[in-house]
Amino acid sequence: MPKKIKADICVIGAGSGGLSVAAGAAQMGARTVLIERGLMGGDCLNTGCVPSKALIAAAKHAYDMTDGARFGIAPVTPQVDFAAVNAHVKGVVAAIAPNDSVARFEGLGVNVMQGEARFKDRHTVIVNNMEVRARRFVIATGSRASMPPIPGLDATPCFTNETIFDNTTLPEHLIIIGGGPIGMEMAQAHRRLGSRVTVIEAARALSKDDAELSLFVIDRLTREGVEILESTSTASVSGTAGKIAVTLSTGRVIEGTHLLVATGRKPNVENLDLEKAGVAFSAHGINVDDRLRTSNKRIFAIGDVVGGLQFTHVANYHAGLVIRNALFRLPAKVDYANIPWVTYTDPELAHVGETEAEARARHMKINVLRWHLAENDRAQATRETDGQIKVITDMHSRILGCTIVGPNAGELILPWVLAKSRGLKLSALAGLVVPYPTLSEISKRVAGAYYTPTLFSARTRALVRFLRFFG
């Protein structure tokens, strides 16, 4: 007979979202079970956010060595030891891993079970010949790389984000299928480390971002030597390790040494026996309501497995909502209107809210405000003037969206996330006292630009002249 365990909440999946739920629930006194079949920390720690940013950091150091002439410093060609770069990436993952470890979570009072979970019925999960019966379940199984139906791909060696960080040999020519954030980040990183890189994108590169500001990124990568082929589909793929051939729809054949497929993510809904639990799902993910409840109201689903915005910070946002719903019975609902995202190329591309195109489609009239980094003194001092902030408002100065392209754009977007989520008007940012010289001045300047036409209008000048008569 299987051993039976009772819990208040059982979390399936130890990625960022699942870990947040488990840690929060256990520390609030709930009997908590956490089940993970793979590595603790999930995709973000092991094959996603953390290793990619570590690789990008190494690549930036290499690039900076070649870019000193504008500061009066002789450029140097870096000697890249790609195996050592990979060791750096692994070292960063290892440094963070204890925060997500079994030992830490057991120390918090979580019953961590390593194995594959399957639902037995609407109230029970089986794992390692044990039955877990819980008052509430949370499915946080994440997603994996989606492989497009390209002829020959299944028989051709290729990387995904799940395998590329295990590579210890610098690709001579890396071909990347997919011009989204992952594809563009990896393209620039590998180019800066010495690879020849070609990106193939069936539509527009960085298509989910503002079309105008994403051009800054595309132009930078092109100037650094990355070949970007937009509106170009892949007809077939063939080859062996070290000798890859990609045939385009145009008939052109691109030959390279390595292939990376970065065409999106697929939710992990298989092998859970969701049907036995009465949980509705599709190829796009598990169906949830605005409280993240599945068709079985005792079961929640969070993070990538529900589709939509597949970011670590969204999974953590979901975790907080589930804690309120599952433990405290509070009807907390999702609101995606103020979720930011960042593409960590150089320059970075950060966004929150509506793009200009989306705002024009949804609103009768809008204002579009811009401020260029070339007009920022700190950007001039650091020779990082390649960027811009773009803010979209309605006719009452309420913020609809903001996109920033430039150095540290991911850090600079935060005040706009706060302002938009709190319904603040531009005056709140225009009135800030900002330290000088900082890149953050661009937020104050672009907000102030909204009021410039009124402040320096003929009416204002007339008012100043009139007030002279009073001393």
CATH number at 375 reads 3.30.390.30
The verdict on 122 and 35 lying in the same domain is yes
Beta strand spans in 332-417 (E):
341-343, 348-353, 367-372, 388-393, 399-406
The verdict on 295 and 360 lying in the same domain is no
The verdict on 253 and 272 lying in the same domain is no
The verdict on 174 and 52 lying in the same domain is no
Angle at alpha carbon of residue 265, lines to 264 and 266, rounded to 5° = 135
Closest CA to 193 of 88, 279, 293: 88
Domain, as residue range, for 126: 3-144+266-328
Closest CA to 58 of 30, 16, 20, 86: 86
Closest CA to 315 of 18, 13, 10, 9: 18
Domain termination site, one of 263, 290, 318 = 263
Angle at alpha carbon of residue 312, lines to 308 and 316, rounded to 5° = 95
The verdict on 138 and 8 lying in the same domain is yes
pLDDT, averaged in runs of 10, over the chain (471 residues): 91 98 98 97 96 98 96 96 98 98 98 97 96 98 96 97 96 98 98 98 97 97 98 97 96 98 96 98 97 98 96 97 96 96 98 96 95 98 97 94 98 97 94 97 96 80 81 74
The pLDDT score that the predictor gives to residue 464 is: 79
CB 36 within 8 A of CB 22: no
Q: Is residue 67 part of a domain?
A: yes
Q: Which CATH number covers residue 24? A: 3.50.50.60
The verdict on 286 and 311 lying in the same domain is yes
Burial of 70 (0-12, 13-18, 19+ CB in 10 A): exposed
Q: Is residue 463 part of a domain?
A: no
Angle at alpha carbon of residue 419, lines to 413 and 422, rounded to 5° = 135
The verdict on 239 and 286 lying in the same domain is no
Q: Is residue 468 part of a domain?
A: no
The pLDDT score that the predictor gives to residue 34 is: 98
The verdict on 224 and 279 lying in the same domain is no
Measured CA to CA in angstroms, residue 205 lies from 19, 44, 153, 211, 213 at distances of: 33, 23, 21, 9, 12
Angle, helix 82-96 to helix 49-65, in steps of 10 degrees: 140
The verdict on 207 and 131 lying in the same domain is no
In tens, the pLDDT along 19-29 reads 999 999 999 99
Q: List Cβ neighbours of 258 (8 Å cut-off, separation of 6 or more).
A: 159, 167, 171, 172, 173, 174, 175, 242, 244
Instruction: Give the H/E segment covering residue 114.
Output: strand 111-114
Sheet strands side by side (includes 399-406): 341-343, 348-353, 399-406, 388-393, 367-372
The verdict on 116 and 197 lying in the same domain is no
The pLDDT score that the predictor gives to residue 1 is: 67
Can you tell me the distance from the alpha carbon of 393 to that of 134, in angstroms, rounded to the nearest whole number? 47
The verdict on 258 and 274 lying in the same domain is no
CB 327 within 8 A of CB 380: no
